[in-house]
Structure 1
Amino acid sequence: MKTALETPALPALLAARAAAEPGKVAMIVHGAGELTFEEWERRSNEVANALLSMGIGRGERIGLIFPAARWIDYAIAFLGVLKAGAVAVPLADRTPAAEVARIAAHCSISVTIGELADLPRASAEPPGLPNDPDAVAQILYTSGTTGTAKGVAATHANLAFGAVLNPRRPGMRMFAHSRHLVHAFPIGTNAGQMMLLNALNAYPAVVTLPRFTPDRFARLIADHRAGTVFLVPAMAVELLGRREDHDLSSVQLLGSAAAPLPAAVATRLAGMFPNATIANYYTSTEAAPAQTIMIVDPERPGSVGRAAAGGAVRIASPEGEAVRAGETGEVWMRSPAAPRSYYNDTDAASDVFRGGWIRMGDLGYIDEDGYLYLVDRESDVIKSGAFKVSTLKVEEALHAHPAVAEAAAYGVPHPVLGMAVAAAVVLRSPGPDEAIGGGLGTDEADGRHEGAPDDGEVSLAALRAFLAERLARHEIPSQIATMDALPRNAGGKVDKRALRART
């Protein structure tokens, strides 16, 4: 008997789970309520029928703008749009109005939904419209860290890859070791969409909260005795500096996504989550569901793992030719599902999507055992004089200092070298079970902040001496700024354009 999703579509998956487990909770939003599979099925049918009554046709684009406090309404609206045969365009609620207007014009959005109550009342009966596996189901706009955000189109088959309609037993579903999976990813991001898919297909109930704070997040994990937790490195850093102490021993899998997890941060997380396997996931909005997964290994501190889920990874020269093991080149990934593409942008798509392979925009290498190591974003490599400097390498060295919580390296103009290395750091605050043996001070000579280091703090000169043991001379930042927080985009990635603009 086949258990694979024969006609890949998320509405079919929701209908199957609602029929098999109507009262099972699929999603919990702290302080806002919970959603069962039966309610998700019924209310998304209402949304679909409401859209059809408004004359929405197959393939029309529907904008979805919901705050994190209304993750449940968003999940209902998303499935309702797909059931109506339309295309969902999720947008973060903090997206500026001008950007929303640009996106709406780019993909010709017909209707934008922000309140379910604004839709006409409609029947809860299934609309009965089959979904074409090859039809576009979702357009997700990238974070745009290197330019104008692009719309990444995913088909029904792409979104539903790996899903199963009728598993013989609960253990066949993902994360079966957990009753609850906790995350704090925002709506409108690829990571957030993966959590929505987990709510549909995984075994545990997916739990989130309206706004991330480290203490609230830790409390949520402890209260639900969560077995699985997902976060981004920026959240991990904040979690390490939490003020309250909570029992986190229930966590068996801690997954980090969206950006490389510094080795020093992973080590500290292992101490905070004593029973957890810590995994780093590497993918992109364009490449999903292709990914590499790395179970954090002290023997391979810089690796983001090997290809998983039926995908593949390779390193190529700028001409597209394969390079030898250990040689640095462009990172390409192959999707195991129907690949995604850029919507309404043929030229950009041809540069990134080629024959099922996706150009990641990163430089890296693969060792003899097939483990991928990232060297840097192609756009972030600093060409300083005769040298090329990896910002990831500089950031790893900065993270190794006990006073540094977060770090970002970037290039700034230099009259002789062309570009010079600069860095911004956020200082650590001790957590409830640790003490830091000295902070990082700033001085007037660096032109960043006035004042000298307090007693017991580490000066910037001392930090550079620390880096000199780990970096070549040309890799050591000539400028170091301290900040209360690094600027980030909606997906949690550091906005290096904003950092360069400060200089």
Structure 2
Amino acid sequence: MSVTLCHLLRARASVEPEREAMALSGVGALPFGVWEKRSDAVAAGLLGQGVTPGERIGLVFGNGDWLEYAVAFLGVLKARAVAVPLSDQLAEADVDAMLRHCGATRVLRPGALPSAEGTPELPHPGDAAQILYTSGTTGRPKGVLATHANLAHGWGGRRRPFAHSRHLAHAFPIGTNAGQWMLANAIGAHPTVVTLGRFTPGRFARLIEQYRAGTVFLVPTMAIEMLAAGAHTRHDLSGVLLLGSAAAPLPAKVAAELTVAFPKATIANYYTSTEAAPAQTVMLYDAGRPSSVGRPASGGAVRITGPDGAPVPTGETGEVWMRSPTASRTYFGDAGATGETFRDGWVRMGDLGRIDDDGYLYLVDRESDVIKSGAHKVSTLHVEEAVYQHPGVVEAAAFGVAHPALGKAVAIAVVGSVDHTELRAFLSGRLAPHEQPYRLVTLDSLPRNHGGKVDKRTLREAVR
């Protein structure tokens, strides 16, 4: 079906104008009819200011502005401009750099949306729709350009996703791929999407309890914080039937603990990237495959290749590539990086992994995170999985630091009440000699970007 999110919103508003598409805790709700009318007004206002097709428009909003952001985003799309979502939690210098990079001609912020009368002509599926910047954890953030066909792929069918739920709760930030996925859910899925302005374990648990949310999405760090705080013991979360984790690998120990904290829920781990979406793999938690990120879903595909691009045999480690089931994304203004990452519908994920005989994908590490220690290559994900097994560890991150003889060696940062000598002894039987920590440090919290991913560059700079 050749549609756009704009067409989908217009269709739902005509049939269910009073139904709430989205709700923000403590603020209010956004019915489909209101969303359609207000976004039309924003589009008409932009067109009245002379906005032309393809013009880039920055949207700088915070998580407390989700409802107004949803209006602004659809308004920009309806004006046939290109939306550039950015979190107000980014440093001002970073926001300015991204706006300069994409050539944004204007910026929309909360409380200052243009408005006029009119019903704009909706965009075409092949038109450019969105530029989303990557987290930059492995280098300079890149602007990922998506068309309307890419954003709307899979929506508009007869059956709406998550039909088991009246409400879907999440705490993803604006300006992330996961956050944009929730925005699409608000338009195309069955439940009302509910969120909150600022995540804390208690607030999020109260949100889930208040709405009896049947579907919940979070990032692993949020799951870890909720488990550590015991939020599931103080709130009734028994209505959750599906708990999805996205944006980063979900440690096996954490996944197992979630099955206890949410006894009625299926625990699902979603693996994709800003570049690869909507392609993804999905893994329903299986104690027999605790560290797998699943098999391809949504019509996509996965392959493992060597450095030369040729497929490697099943079970061997290589570069992970994912094929998009629709129009592929691309990097804006960076032909060199586009050629390295996007090839014939396939997207290079920047991860190393392997596929087993049943087609399940296992990640070995980010290519940039692999520690080359002497003659060995150490997977930080493997080290972290071992560290998480210690009952005193709440969070863990492994990364490489300089070593006088080996070049690089393993460093581990942990959050939790664990003695370093005890942890070294615990790891001695679980990790090979070259995987043992050269440096150990305990922190109050791990540094993360606004999307919830551990910032290992910051860790390397802090632990020398």
After TM superposition, the runs of 4+ consecutive aligned structure 1 residues lying more than 3 A away are none
Tell me how far 1:321 sits from its aligned partner.
0.2
Q: Which SS does the other structure have where 1:412 is aligned?
A: strand
The change in CA–CA distance for 1:215 and 1:120 in structure 2 (over 3 A counts) is closer
User: In the alignment, is the contact (CA less than 8 A) between 1:135 and 1:155 conserved in 2?
Assistant: yes
What percentage of aligned pairs have identical amino acids?
A: 62
Tell me how far 1:8 sits from its aligned partner.
1.9
Tell me how far 1:243 sits from its aligned partner.
5.0
Q: Which of 166, 174, 198 is matched with 1:179 structurally?
A: 166
The change in CA–CA distance for 1:120 and 1:286 in structure 2 (over 3 A counts) is closer
Q: Which of 35, 56, 61 is matched with 2:56 structurally?
A: 61
**1:463 aligned onto 2:423:** yes
**1:131 aligned onto 2:120:** no
Tell me how far 1:120 sits from its aligned partner.
4.1
Aligned equivalents of 2:124 and 2:338: distance in 1?
22
TM-score norm. by structure 1 comes to 0.91
Q: In the alignment, which residue of structure 1 is the partner of 2:373?
A: 384
User: In the alignment, is the contact (CA less than 8 A) between 1:32 and 1:70 conserved in 2?
Assistant: no
Q: In the alignment, which residue of structure 2 is the partner of 1:196?
A: 183
Provide Cα deviations, 1:221-276, integer angstroms capped at 9, x if missing partner: 11111000000000000000225511111000000001110011011111110100
Q: In the alignment, which residue of structure 2 is the partner of 1:450?
A: none
Q: In the alignment, which residue of structure 1 is the partner of 2:152?
A: 160
Provide Cα deviations, 1:386-438, integer angstroms capped at 9, x if missing partner: 111000000000111111111000000011000010000111xxxxxxxxxxx
**1:238 aligned onto 2:202:** no
Aligned equivalents of 2:113 and 2:240: distance in 1?
40
**1:17 aligned onto 2:12:** yes
Q: In the alignment, which residue of structure 2 is the partner of 1:489?
A: 449
The change in CA–CA distance for 1:135 and 1:488 in structure 2 (over 3 A counts) is same
Q: Which of 24, 29, 37 is matched with 1:29 structurally?
A: 24
Q: In the alignment, which residue of structure 2 is the partner of 1:215?
A: 202
The change in CA–CA distance for 1:326 and 1:138 in structure 2 (over 3 A counts) is same
Tell me how far 1:37 sits from its aligned partner.
0.1
Q: In the alignment, which residue of structure 2 is the partner of 1:433?
A: none
Q: Which of 384, 387, 402 is matched with 1:395 structurally?
A: 384
Provide Cα deviations, 1:266-316, integer angstroms capped at 9, x if missing partner: 111111101000000000000000000000101001100000010000000
Aligned equivalents of 2:442 and 2:229: distance in 1?
20
Amino acid of the structure 1 residue aligned with 2:195:
T
Tell me how far 1:476 sits from its aligned partner.
1.2
Aligned equivalents of 2:177 and 2:113: distance in 1?
26
Equivalent runs, 1:76-475 vs 2, <5 Å: 76-115=71-110, 117-123=111-117, 125-127=118-120, 129-164=121-156, 167=158, 172-244=159-231, 245-427=234-416, 439-440=417-418, 459-475=419-435
Tell me how far 1:119 sits from its aligned partner.
3.7
User: In the alignment, is the contact (CA less than 8 A) between 1:182 and 1:208 conserved in 2?
Assistant: yes
User: In the alignment, is the contact (CA less than 8 A) between 2:238 and 2:263 conserved in 1?
Assistant: yes
Name which one, 1 or 2, has greater alpha-carbon Rg: 1
**1:476 aligned onto 2:436:** yes
User: In the alignment, is the contact (CA less than 8 A) between 2:72 and 2:113 conserved in 1?
Assistant: no
User: In the alignment, is the contact (CA less than 8 A) between 2:173 and 2:450 conserved in 1?
Assistant: yes
Structure 2 unaligned residues grouped into runs of 5+: none
The change in CA–CA distance for 1:243 and 1:281 in structure 2 (over 3 A counts) is closer
Aligned equivalents of 1:372 and 1:35: distance in 2?
39
TM-score norm. by structure 2 comes to 0.98
Tell me how far 1:490 sits from its aligned partner.
1.4
Q: In the alignment, which residue of structure 2 is the partner of 1:500?
A: 460
Tell me how far 1:118 sits from its aligned partner.
2.5
State the aligned residue count. 461
Q: Which SS does the other structure have where 2:239 is aligned?
A: coil
Amino acid of the structure 1 residue aligned with 2:148:
H
User: In the alignment, is the contact (CA less than 8 A) between 2:79 and 2:122 conserved in 1?
Assistant: no
Tell me how far 1:465 sits from its aligned partner.
1.2
Q: Which SS does the other structure have where 1:13 is aligned?
A: helix
Aligned equivalents of 1:153 and 1:476: distance in 2?
41
Provide Cα deviations, 1:307-352, integer angstroms capped at 9, x if missing partner: 0010000000000000000000000000001000000000000000
Amino acid of the structure 2 residue aligned with 1:108:
G
Tell me how far 1:121 sits from its aligned partner.
3.6
Q: Which of 29, 35, 48 is matched with 1:40 structurally?
A: 35
The change in CA–CA distance for 1:64 and 1:107 in structure 2 (over 3 A counts) is same
Q: In the alignment, which residue of structure 2 is the partner of 1:447?
A: none
Aligned equivalents of 1:395 and 1:387: distance in 2?
17
Tell me how far 1:103 sits from its aligned partner.
1.2
**Segment drifting more, 238-247 vs 20-29:** 238-247
Q: Which SS does the other structure have where 1:404 is aligned?
A: coil
Tell me how far 1:105 sits from its aligned partner.
1.4
Aligned equivalents of 1:121 and 1:381: distance in 2?
50
Structure 1 unaligned residues grouped into runs of 5+: 428-438, 441-458
Aligned equivalents of 2:230 and 2:398: distance in 1?
28
